[in-house]
Structure 1
Amino acid sequence: MERLLSFAAKLERISSAIGRLAAWAIIALVLVIMTDVILRRWFVIGSTKLQELEWHLHGFLFLLCLGWAYTKNAHVRIELVSERLSARTRAWIELVGCILFLLPYVSAVLWFGYDYVSYSWAYNEASASPTGLPDRWIIKSAIVIGFAVLGIAAISRLLQAVVFLFGRPEQAERTPFSQTEPQTGES
């Protein structure tokens, strides 16, 4: 169990590091949005490239921070229900949810996403708009990378649930499930 806990911690560090690095895209996103608004409002200049860059940055930010948010329990869940459950019940739900829902979904996205991205790379896919961004394969690659990071985070949480449910009490104390309150997205 000690090895599982150690491996889970390593996986969580990987997904957190990628998420923290990708979070810096928020600065670029804000600057692009501000530029687009200023150009449209005061200079009456619209730009397809700026609009596409906005959604590319937004997608990049969301996709690459998804795993980090999952490890920090900052994802959407029904708090009214989960906060009333015991730690063991929450750990069981996490374990079963990862095995039956999250990991199969991530696997399907990675499986089908590979072809989706490889096609885009092979044909150097660009925007359908003549004045849009080239190299659409960049954002499509972010889909596969983001879901791979989410898969890493899911495996980490799965292993932590296993340690909490089946490990020794001192090992279970080192998992996020040992907290009396559900973990928030802080830190």
Structure 2
Amino acid sequence: MQMPRALSAFLVLCRWLDRAALALCVAAGLFLTGAVLAIVVLRYGFGAGFIQLQDAAGYAFAVLMAFSLPVTLARGGHVRVEVLSERLPRTYLRTADAVALVLFLVPVFGLLIRAFWPDLAYAWSIREGSVETGGLGGLYLVKTALPVAAAMMILQGVAQVLGPRAGE
């Protein structure tokens, strides 16, 4: 069965966003690992601290956590609460996913975007930096990751419901 052109373009966009988020997660995870290793060696090996590196590690962790949510959802790695779902037909699971999308995923992540927007706008208006003296600037960029990841969660959820499933 042929998919409508708009739906196909939407699914391609979601796949592209997923790949970009995955690449960002991999980069953030690798950077975080190296940064924490360097922080530990500097602190306990040489008795020196490096506040900018500590901020960078915190920023990388925040980005990794925010973007790992849509990456996990796109791969079907979310946790199902239902105990009986493995015995039920696939049509039930597809319907349950659609209902969960409408009742929970879209409203919760939409509310997250709406509730966080004033804080994000303020952070951008003052170009918010680190709370630590001598720390890194650009905290406003890291804070942007949360609403972007929330929007990606909504898009990935819609793509999961509208897109073709394996085995169907």
- Scaled by the length of structure 1, the TM-score of the pair is 0.77
Q: Which of the residues 84, 91, 97 maps onto 2:100?
A: 97
User: What's 2:165 paired with?
Assistant: 175
Give 1:19 shift.
1.8
Structure 2: stretches of 5+ with no match in the other structure: none
Does residue 1:127 correspond to 2:138, yes or no? no
Structure 1: stretches of 5+ with no match in the other structure: 161-173, 179-187
Structure 1 residues 5-154: aligned runs within 5 Å: 6-7=8-9, 9-22=11-24, 23-78=26-81, 80-154=83-157
Give 1:15 shift.
2.8
Return closer, same or farther for 1:85/1:58 CA change in 2, 3 Å cut-off.
farther
Return closer, same or farther for 1:131/1:84 CA change in 2, 3 Å cut-off.
farther
1:100-120 CA distance string (max 9 Å, x none): 000011111222222221110
Distance in 2 separating the partners of 1:122 and 1:137 = 9
1:89-142 CA distance string (max 9 Å, x none): 211111010000000111112222222211101011122221322221011011
- Scaled by the length of structure 2, the TM-score of the pair is 0.85
Comparing 119-128 and 47-56, the one that deviates more: 47-56
State the structure with bigger RCO (CA 8 A, min sep 6), 1 or 2: 1
Which runs of structure 1 show a deviation greater than 4 angstroms over 4 or more consecutive aligned residues? none
Distance in 2 separating the partners of 1:121 and 1:13 = 29
Query: Aligned residues: percent identity?
Result: 23
